[in-house]
Amino acid sequence: MVDVTAAPAGGRRSALVIATATYDDPALSRLRAPAHDVAEFAEVLADPALGGFAVTSLVDRRHHEIKHDVDEFLASRKADELVVVYLTTHGLRDARGRLYFAATDTRKARLASTTVEAPWLLDQLDECPARSQVVVLDCCFSGAFAAGAKAGDELDLREHLMGPARGRVVLTASRASEYSFEGEAMAGDGVRSVFTAALVEGIRSGGADADNDGVITVDDAYDYAFARMRARGAKQTPQRWVFGAEGRIRLSRNPRARVSDPPPEPPARQARPRRRRLTLLRTLPAQDQEPRFPDVLAVAYRPGSNELVATYQDGSVRVWNEHGSLRGAWTAHTSRPVNAVAFSPDGVMLAVGGERFLWMWAVDDGAARRPVRHRQSVVRSLAFSPDGVLLASAGDDGTVRLADWRDGTHRVLSAPGGDPLEAVAFTAGGSVVAATGSGGRVHTWRIREQDVHHMWQTRDGVSNALAAHDATGRLVVGGDRRRIRMTDLGANLELGPHWGPVAGTIRALAFSPDGTAVASGGTDGMVRLWDPELGRRFTSGKAECGHAVTSVAFASNGRQVAAGCVDGLVRVLGVGP
């Protein structure tokens, strides 16, 4: 199925080049350029004197063959590899503006079932372990196949192709509203596309090395192609998007330069130990005790101690001391479930909320409760600001309400669309509030800048869970698509490559206090520990609770994780090396 053209020492630079020129469906015109484009681009990438890549070529394959080989190629990469994916074919849009790449068996009338979908390709790139990725697309993105689209409605290539990956550069041959053109025949030996021909010319001749430093970066190659196409009067405008790329991505050496060593490899990320073990320490109450309690809906550790609070389906709240003994039991409401709980940063106050109620307790005096009266819908999640002044509550009415619990003043942050919100958190020193919910959208408000709002779509369905680490500004989001995504506020609020998938819906997420681990729990009854640096589960970082997990929380020392479950038990898990 594949043709490996060259393999550099160490296998640290890999490329997949895909071309489709012939089509079974007469409605798709045959393309002259792809066969020549893919051969020449593969040649300069594989040349040990230039790119030094191990190149895999796919030419005129059926859509399921392309998917299989793309999956195999990307899944087998390593974290410190530089990966290039090049694709030349017809780029097609359906009436809803969704983007597809044509294969030999593509049928114009059956795009969804006979093409390679752009979101699918993006998901494979997200899952690829390689943290330096270059994607080059020489395709049309509009035209005859956009019939039915609204006039003037351009395809958002950044949304479809950029994705959340760290260290990804995407080059496209044209704008969303432009065709990509084939050029004239060259010396009687075939036709090249205007864009690919310019890229190859810049690498092969060394002309793209504008600063004469002996190295051609991705930016160098793009700038050269852009200038050459403008000089030749090409009726298309190449595009470039960069996300999270750290430093320059070196694509090739300049063959004209006197450089004895190959282009430097992408720097390897310093790997930390990947082993964190989860072990069951105790259940609350002990499994031999009666009676059993109703479903546990929320858990939280008291700051500065290993005291643990749990809230239940029957409206009760229980506090357990560090030895696992019941210290106190209160009633938040006679019948309504207590969905949310949060401690103030000093551990003095406890907030609990549910269906049209929100209470504050002084933890050491369970009788001293007081209402926070601004919430008129179901409370799903609570969070205190780092200074303990503001209490954020997210609810079914699609709002986050910020209350100064001391004087009762509050303001309302509304999520556009009114989707019910399931989770809320403070981050970035308390200057940002983040929330997510059933619409699959993540919302952030910069509350010190007149509540400036930002929103993005997760593409992962309902988002049930969100957690934030205040010091790093990182957010993690998870939901019913069985995977987790992470972002940080310094990365333009783009969601990162997903972790997982796991077996069930993700219901709960929590950061460890030092930010080096994330705990997740869900409907499959498992608690997992994830490494946020490497985007994967820690070795041995998994424990089975036996019943669906509704809530997770780290103790202040980071050495314990509590998991609330639908069987009425809280599992306390030890975190060890």
- Give the domain ranges of the chain: 3-253, 277-576
Domain 277-576 fold: Methylamine Dehydrogenase; Chain H (2.130.10)
Q: How far apart are the first and last CA of the chain?
A: 43
Q: State residue 152's pLDDT score.
A: 30
Question: Which residues partner with 391 through β-bridges?
Answer: 384, 403
Q: State residue 264's pLDDT score.
A: 47
Residue 464, burial from CB neighbour count under 10 angstroms (0-12, 13-18, 19+): buried
Q: State residue 352's pLDDT score.
A: 93
Closest to 496 in 3D by CA, of 522, 448, 535, 536: 535
d(C-alpha 560, C-alpha 557), whole Å: 7
Q: State residue 218's pLDDT score.
A: 87
> Phi first, then psi: what are they for 191, rounded to 5°?
-110, 140
SS (H, E, C) 157-168: HHHHHHCCCCCE
With a cut of 70, list the residues of the chain below it in pLDDT.
Answer: 1-11, 140-167, 174-192, 233-237, 241-248, 257-274, 287-291, 366-369, 373-376, 457-461, 489-497
H/E run at residue 40: helix 34-46
Q: State residue 37's pLDDT score.
A: 82
Q: State residue 84's pLDDT score.
A: 94
CATH number of this structure's domain 3-253, picked from the four choices 3.40.50.150, 3.40.50.970, 3.40.50.1460, 3.40.605.10: 3.40.50.1460
